[in-house]
């Protein structure tokens, strides 16, 4: 399935949910927030939130800032 | 009550808020936060680096008792800032947000129109909104009316270290708004922080002046003392200024004076 992840186009196999996507990418669930096509996915919804081809996924986390 | 700062439902014993940007290492940042005595630190929200997804999380270096204040830095519209605030909330660290919407790239000057609009919406959504703004007392009144929980005028442009260019604005704000006034941006040295506090600011927010000092940990401690000194000086109430001298020692009783 082709997804746009943080602005980059990626082809990923066997990724059906946000949880599976984070696992495949090696991203820790605890420290990130996720948005799909502009809609925020709650932390409790990673497992049930389904992905579709061409979805634009933003995965963000906290960094240093003032 | 000199050391209690209240923002919305939150209470802080320290009147110094510290930014987490521009430190050379996470360890130096952690030590500076500790030395500053702060209980509130700002962070930014950015995309995960997909080429290095396992890099250590900034949050692991923030002391446990310290509350996190996510900013909307980098946003140019109310729409963008609201999305960032919601995302930060979704990341699970509470409902505080430092609303920062820029209208000029080189000055990093706040956009007053977008900022006021976003304040209204975020307040309605239940956020505790700390608003970065221009030193404009009329805009401050609008932000207060919109429900902002703290109003944060810039001292001078972000990262410039020029100090508080118009320190009189602090008193103007204090007279006109009902919520804490926090000087955010531009503080370059402890004297700037002290002056802002002495002028009646409820708190100051400092990032670059600590992070880019030759010794950030020592500077964090200096800022802590400066903020405390300034606050105490404000509460004590300074003497009136005079145009000419007034002797501190008695004018009468000098030796060799002739009695008449």
Q: The CATH number of the domain where A24 resides is what?
A: 3.10.20.30
pLDDT at residue B216 greater than cutoff 50: yes
Residue B132 Cα distances to A50, A61, B189, B205, B237, angstroms:
37, 22, 20, 10, 28
pLDDT at residue B220 greater than cutoff 80: yes
For range B144-150, the mean pLDDT: 98
Domain extent, residue B134, equals 26-49+67-236
Rounded Cα distance, B24 and B235, in Å: 36
Locate the chain A residue with the closest alpha carbon to B25: A64
Confidence of residue B236 (pLDDT cuts 50, 70, 90): very high
Q: Is residue A44 part of a domain?
A: yes
Q: Is residue B60 part of a domain?
A: no
Backbone angles phi and psi of A53, in degrees to 5: -60, 145
The pLDDT score that the predictor gives to residue B3 is: 67
Cβ contact, residue pair B91, A65, below 8 Å? no
Q: Is residue B243 part of a domain?
A: no
The total number of structural domains that make up chain A: 1
Identify all chain A residues contacting B86, using CB atoms and an 8 Å cutoff.
Answer: 40
What digits encode the pLDDT tens for the residues B156-185?
999 999 999 999 999 999 999 999 999 999
**Chain B positions with Cβ closer than 8 Å to A:** 19-23, 29, 42-48, 50, 53-54, 57-59, 68, 70-71, 73, 83, 86-88, 90-93, 158-159, 185, 205, 207-208
The answer to whether B174 is a known catalytic residue is no
Confidence of residue B94 (pLDDT cuts 50, 70, 90): confident
Between A8, A26, A33, which is nearest B90 by CB?
A: A33
Mutual orientation of helices B78-90 and B112-124 as an angle, nearest 10°? Answer: 40
Asked if B16 contacts B209 with a C-beta cutoff of 8 angstroms, the reply is no
Q: Is residue B55 part of a domain?
A: no
Q: Is residue A43 part of a domain?
A: yes
Identify all chain B residues contacting A64, using CB atoms and an 8 Å cutoff.
Answer: 19-23, 29, 43-44, 58
pLDDT at residue B260 greater than cutoff 80: no
Q: Is residue B157 part of a domain?
A: yes
Domain extent, residue A23, equals 2-61
Asked if B129 contacts B122 with a C-beta cutoff of 8 angstroms, the reply is yes
Q: Is residue A66 part of a domain?
A: no
The pLDDT score that the predictor gives to residue A65 is: 95
DSSP B61-127: GS-TTPEEEEB-TTB-SHHHHHHHHHHHHHTTS-SEEEE-BEEETTTTEE-HHHHHHHHHHHHHTT-
Confidence of residue B198 (pLDDT cuts 50, 70, 90): very high
The pLDDT score that the predictor gives to residue B2 is: 54
Cβ contact, residue pair A65, B71, below 8 Å? yes
Looking at every residue in chain B, the average pLDDT score rounds to 95
Q: Is residue B5 part of a domain?
A: no
Q: Is A30 helix (H, G, I), strand (E, B) or coil?
A: helix
Q: Is residue A36 part of a domain?
A: yes
pLDDT at residue B1 greater than cutoff 60: no
Cβ contact, residue pair B91, A43, below 8 Å? yes
The pLDDT score that the predictor gives to residue B223 is: 98
Mutual orientation of helices B216-236 and B190-198 as an angle, nearest 10°? Answer: 20
Locate the chain B residue with the closest alpha carbon to A35: B87
pLDDT at residue B227 greater than cutoff 80: yes
For range B75-93, the mean pLDDT: 93
Chain A to chain B Cβ contacts (< 8 Å): 104
Q: What does pTM read for this prediction?
A: 0.91
Contacts of B103 (CB under 8 A, 6+ apart): B76, B109, B110, B111, B112, B113, B114
Annotated catalytic residue, options B98, B141, B224, B260:
B98
Rounded Cα distance, B71 and B60, in Å: 18
For range B186-190, the mean pLDDT: 96
Identify all chain A residues contacting B73, using CB atoms and an 8 Å cutoff.
Answer: 65-66
CATH number for the domain harbouring residue B125: 3.20.20.70
Rounded Cα distance, B143 and B244, in Å: 42
Q: Is residue B231 part of a domain?
A: yes
In this structure, the dihedral spanned by the alpha carbons of residues B24, B29, B30 and B36, taken in order and rounded to 10 degrees, is: 150
A59 touches chain B (CB under 8 A): yes
The total number of structural domains that make up chain B: 1
């Amino acid at each position: 399935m082709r997804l746009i992840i943080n602005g980059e186009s990626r082809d990923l196999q066997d990724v059906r949910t946000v949880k599976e996507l984070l696992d495949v990418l090696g991203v820790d669930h605890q420290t990130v927030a996720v948005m799909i096509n502009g809609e925020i996915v709650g932390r409790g919804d990673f497992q049930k939130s389904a992905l579709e081809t061409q979805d634009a996924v933003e995965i963000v986390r906290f960094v240093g800032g003032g | 009550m000199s050391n209690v700062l209240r923002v919305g439902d939150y209470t802080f014993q320290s009147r110094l808020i510290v930014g987490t940007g521009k430190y050379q290492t996470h360890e130096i940042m952690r030590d500076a936060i500790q030395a500053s005595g702060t209980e509130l630190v700002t962070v930014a929200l950015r995309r995960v680096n997909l080429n290095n997804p396992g890099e250590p999380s900034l949050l692991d270096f923030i002391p446990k008792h310290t509350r996190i204040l996510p900013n909307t830095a980098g946003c140019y519209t109310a729409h963008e800032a609201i999305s960032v605030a919601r995302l930060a909330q979704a990341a699970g660290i509470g409902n505080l947000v430092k609303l920062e919407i820029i209208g000029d790239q080189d000055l990093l000057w706040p956009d007053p129109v977008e900022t006021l609009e976003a304040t209204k919406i975020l307040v309605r959504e239940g956020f505790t909104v700390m608003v970065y703004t221009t030193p404009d007392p009329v805009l401050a009144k609008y932000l207060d009316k919109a429900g902002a929980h703290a109003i944060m005028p810039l001292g001078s442009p972000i990262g410039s270290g020029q100090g508080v260019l118009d320190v009189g604005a602090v008193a103007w704000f204090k007279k006109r708004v009902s919520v804490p006034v926090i000087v955010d941006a531009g503080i370059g040295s402890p004297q700037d922080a002290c002056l802002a506090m002495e002028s009646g600011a409820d708190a100051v927010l400092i990032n670059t002046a600590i992070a880019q000092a030759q010794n950030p940990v020592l500077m964090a401690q200096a800022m802590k003392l400066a903020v405390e000194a300034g606050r105490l000086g404000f509460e004590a109430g300074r003497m009136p200024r005079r145009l000419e001298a007034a002797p501190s020692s008695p004018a009468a009783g000098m030796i060799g004076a002739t009695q008449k």
